Amino acid sequence: SAHIADYMIGIFRTSPPTKDNRRHGLTQFLVDMKSNGISVNPIAQITGTYWSNGMGGVALDVGRRYGEFKEWGVRVNALYRNGNGPVDRLNEEASAVSLGLDYRGERVRASFDYFHNDLDQKNGQRTTFGLLPGVNVPTGVRNTNNLAQPYEFYNANYDYGVARVEADVLDNVTVFGAF
């Protein structure tokens, strides 16, 4: 959201972590996005990925602003991956897409984002399991062992959206709403 933000938070590693604290050396900065030397450019990026055992995929990120004052924004993010994972017998196909529209006027700002996700795992992998109180945690097994039965599968498909509007009703009063 750099294109609509007045400020952004950046977390940077300014010194190495210690053996006892992996967060040691992280510093948080508040960045004024209107500072000299900061520019927000349109995104157009395609990224290919490859994981062990033949899992590969592609990601697409595109964003543009339109209008006389660049007040209208459009964003598309998409992901697709497919193949065998690093866990025994796991085959996975996943896709996700998000579409975003926004308006940034002088006194009114609005945005709408739509998301769709689809995940299909064959020979599913049980990623979580619970233990009753008082039961000892079993000794570790190879992290590539698939704990699921060969006939198990997992399929998830869902859609959701987010809408936000804010308006400056006075110079020092802003109202907003989200759904």
pLDDT at residue 131, as a whole number: 67
Predicted TM-score (pTM) of this structure: 0.64
Angle of CA points 48, 123, 86, to nearest 5°:
45
Tens of pLDDT, residue by residue, the chain (179 residues):
566 677 888 888 888 888 888 888 889 888 888 777 877 777 788 999 887 667 889 999 999 989 998 899 999 999 999 988 777 777 788 999 999 999 989 899 999 999 999 988 877 665 556 667 777 776 766 667 776 777 777 788 999 999 999 999 998 999 999 99
Q: Is 71 exposed, middle or buried (0-12, 13-18, 19+ CB in 10 A)?
A: middle
**Confidence at residue 98, expressed as pLDDT on a 0 to 100 scale:** 95
User: Whats the size of the chain, residue-wise?
Assistant: 179
Give the model's pLDDT for residue 49. 86
Would you state the structure tokens that stand for residue 46, as one six-digit string? 């395609």
Residue 13, Cβ density class (10 Å: 0-12 exposed, 13-18 middle, ≥19 buried)? exposed
Instruction: Provide the 8-state DSSP code for 140.
Output: P
Q: What is the DSSP letter of 145?
A: -
Torsion of Cα atoms, 123 then 115 then 80 then 44, to 10°: -160
Placement of tokens 């959701």 in the chain: 160
E strand segments, the chain = 7-13, 26-32, 44-50, 56-66, 72-84, 91-104, 108-122, 153-170, 173-178
